[in-house]
Amino acid sequence: MEKPLNKQELVAAVAENADLAKAKAGEVVDAVFGAIEKALSNGQEVRLVGFGTFVTATRKAAKGRNPRTGEEIDIPASTSVRFKPGKNLKEAVSK
């Protein structure tokens, strides 16, 4: 398994593929991430046809147990981000 792609490597790949300077590609990548973050924080889905969909999911508050002590604890409600890959991405990954 290869090492994970970090943000700098992603920016370099975007710069090369789009024939942009790395600084400009970095601005573009930051703008895309910012737009996705803003939409999700406003409760919107982000659908990128063929790539996938980002959605928020809310978990209700619940009761749990501390595994060490057995003491009952309150688990607060939380919101997380989920990603569902699109058909093209699934096909590209499964090759």
Looking at the predicted structure, is the pLDDT value of residue 2 above 90? no
Query: Which CATH code of 3.10.20.600, 3.90.226.10, 2.60.40.10, 4.10.520.10 fits the domain covering 47-94?
Result: 4.10.520.10
Ramachandran class of 22: left when φ > 0, alpha when ψ lies in -120 to 50, beta otherwise: alpha
Of the pLDDT bands very low, low, confident and very high (cuts 50, 70, 90), residue 88 is very high
Residue 36: count of CB within 10 angstroms of its CB:
15
pLDDT digits (tens, 9 = 90+) for 33-79: 999 999 999 999 999 999 999 999 999 999 999 999 999 999 999 99
Q: What whole-number distance in Å separates Cα of residue 12 and Cα of residue 4?
A: 14
